[in-house]
Structure 1
Amino acid sequence: MMTMLLRVCLIAVLLVCYVLLSCASEHKKKKGTEFQINDKNGNRNIKAKRNHTSARPERSKITSPKKKLKKTENKMAPKSDTSCTRLGGICQPNRYICQGHYLQDKCSGSKTRQCCVPDGAWNVLCAGHHNNRVRACDVHGCGAFNSKRGKGLHKAVDLVCDDYGSVNAPFSGNLAGPVSRKDPAGNRYDGVKLLSDVHCVKIFNIRPYRYVGPVVQGEPLGYLLPLQEHFSGITSHLQLQNCDSTDPSPFI
């Protein structure tokens, strides 16, 4: 009887040992498999990260905006001296003496080459006068360009003329219709526009003989209207204004 019990116990112990060894072996296999799976996933993550980081510089190169280069405006000089010669001038270095006035940006080459325009390039406007005399200051103001007029500046030149005296064309061109202006006091001044390929002027305070058609230099355009009725003591004059409000003094 005792021998039978010992055999049963021994068999039970062997079975328990076998079960324990089987479980331990199975657990070891599962752990190894999980480690391999994690290792593979880790490698994939590393590769993915490497690919992502290596792709970012290329993407930034493509999408990065190009630096805008600052454009420098180079004022190019004229390619020829035509702009000067059409004004009756001559291009020469500005260190030379000019019997008149120098005008900039009219000549080719370096900036030191400027257009020398002689004084009196235009014809005398007022008949009976030897030159275009600018009105001096009187009780009603001054006639020079940029002289003070009320709250502003006089953007024209007043030339001394005789009442009802003939007014001649300062240069050859075409009449381009009537012009008029009003002063702050409401006084109206009429005149005519004269233009050519080079010049454009408005001549006020005259009564034109006509308003359109070609004219030659020195041809009568009309006669001067008197101002004494409205401005006692004023010097009789016409008003000469460039169409772009620049100074016409170098040409008169």
Structure 2
Amino acid sequence: MLLKVGFIAALMACCVLLSCAVEQKKRGSEELQSHKKNTDSDIKVKRNYITANDRRPEAATLRKKVIKAAKTRVATGLRGDISCTRLAGICQPNRYICQGRYLKDKCSGARTRQCCMPVGAWSVLCASHHNNRVRACDTHGCGAFNSERVNSLHKAVDLVCDDYGIINAPFTGSLAGPVSRKDPSGNQYDGVKLLNDVHCVKIFNIRPHRYSGPVARGEALGYLLPLQERFSGITSHLELQMCDGADPSPFI
């Protein structure tokens, strides 16, 4: 009987010990898994942090480069267009219609981007008039460009003005000395040359205040010499001639 009781007690003790061992092993496994998850989470967070920190400066640097390049292009474009804008022109592709005429090498960018000089880009030459009015035909001829003259064509434009009227500079530039010419009849016409980086003109039938030095657009150059004394009934006018013989009509 005692032997049987002792065997049962030993068996119960073994079951208790086995249960404790199983419980201990289970707790250890859970703690190991929890520790592994926490470690993986920390590693993932660190990786995300490093990746974010690595990309953030790169993105910021790229944005700065783009902004700087854009500002450089704008600044370069503005500086390159100054040669056109200071002449009251507009830089645009030459496939667009220009009411005046295009000037080359005055704009930044492609060669097809040129300076459009609008009609009436020059100011009024005769101070007593509101516009540059071309002399119509009278008994002594016509004042338009390429009008027929004795054995030649008129390679200038006559602008109506009153005798002794003040003549203003049509554009900003510099005076480059006196000029004179004679017609087939031997009549001499005196005047002055005015030029800048783009334009060069000779203005006849005027008495300049001076023959050299800089002048601003609209500044008085001198006064119109009277023509009635030599040509009775003629329309008083100044004669505007481009230095290269081109037609100045688009600018006046």
TM superposition score normalised by structure 2 = 0.62
How far off is 1:90 after superposition? 1.7
Map of 1:61-100 to 2, 5 A cutoff? Answer: 84-85=84-85, 87-93=87-93, 96=96, 98=98, 100=99
For residue 149 of structure 1, what is the aligned residue in structure 2?
149
* Preserved contact between residue 135 and residue 237 of structure 1 (Cα < 8 Å): yes
Q: Deviations over 1:192-235 (max 9, x none)?
A: 11111221111000011111111111111110011111111111
Amino acid at match of 2:126: C
Unaligned stretches of 5+ in structure 1?
1-79
Note the C-alpha offset of 1:93.
4.1
1: CA distance, partners of 2:95 / 2:199: 27
Match in the other structure for 1:232: 232
2:103 maps to 1:101? no
Contact 1:126/1:165 (CA < 8 Å) preserved in 2?
A: yes
Task: Go from structure 1 to structure 2 and tell me whether the alpha carbon gap of 1:86 and 1:151 turns closer, same or farther (over 3 Å shift).
Answer: farther
- CA spacing shift, 1:148–1:195, aligned 2, 3 Å: same
Distance 1:117 1:104, change over 3 A: closer
For 1:217 and 1:117, locate their aligned partners in 2 and report how far apart those are by CA, in whole Å.
16
Cα 1:213–1:146 shift into 2, 3 Å: same
Partner of 1:198: 198
Q: Which amino acid aligns with 1:170?
A: P
Structure 1 vs Structure 2: percent identity of aligned residues? 77
Number of residue pairs the alignment of both structures matches: 171
1:95 Cα deviation after fit? 5.7
Q: Deviations over 1:59-99 (max 9, x none)?
A: xxxxxxxxxxxxxxxxxxxxx7676445422233456454x
Q: Give the distance between the partners of 1:224 and 1:109, measured in 2 at CA.
A: 44
Matched with 1:136 is 136
CA distance in 1 between partners of 2:117 and 2:93 (Å):
13
Cα contact 2:205–2:239 (8 A) shared by 1: yes
Greater Rg, structure 1 or structure 2? Answer: 1
Contact 2:103-2:117 at 8 Å conserved across structures: no
1:189–1:205 Cα contact (<8 Å) kept: yes
Deviation sequence 1:107-163 (CA, Å, 0-9, x none) = 66465x554322211111001111111111111111111111111111111000000
Change in Cα spacing, 1:197 to 1:96, as seen in structure 2 (3 Å) is closer
**Counterpart-to-counterpart distance in 2, 1:102 and 1:212:** 29
CA–CA distance in structure 1, aligned partners of residues 103 and 215 of structure 2: 29
Aligned partner of 1:244 in structure 2 is 244
After superposition, residues 49-68 of structure 1 pair within 5 angstroms as none
Which residue does the alignment assign to 2:45?
A: none
Secondary structure at the residue paired with 1:235?
A: coil
User: Which residue identity is paired with 2:166?
Assistant: S
What is the one-letter code of the residue matched to 1:247? D
Q: Is the 8 A contact 2:94 2:102 kept in 1?
A: no
Preserved CA contact (<8 Å) 1:203 1:239? yes
Q: Tell me how far apart the structure 2 counterparts of residues 124 and 95 of structure 1 sit (CA, whole Å).
A: 30
1: CA distance, partners of 2:194 / 2:111: 33
The match for 2:208 is 208
Q: 1:104 to 1:167 in 2, by over 3 A?
A: closer
Q: Distance in 2 between matches of 1:94 and 1:199?
A: 20
Question: Which letter does structure 2 place at the counterpart of 1:243?
Answer: C
Q: Is the 8 A contact 1:94 1:102 kept in 2?
A: no
Deviates more, 1:135-144 or 1:102-111: 102-111
Quick check: 1:178 aligned with 2:178? yes
Q: Unaligned 5+ residue runs, structure 2?
A: 1-79
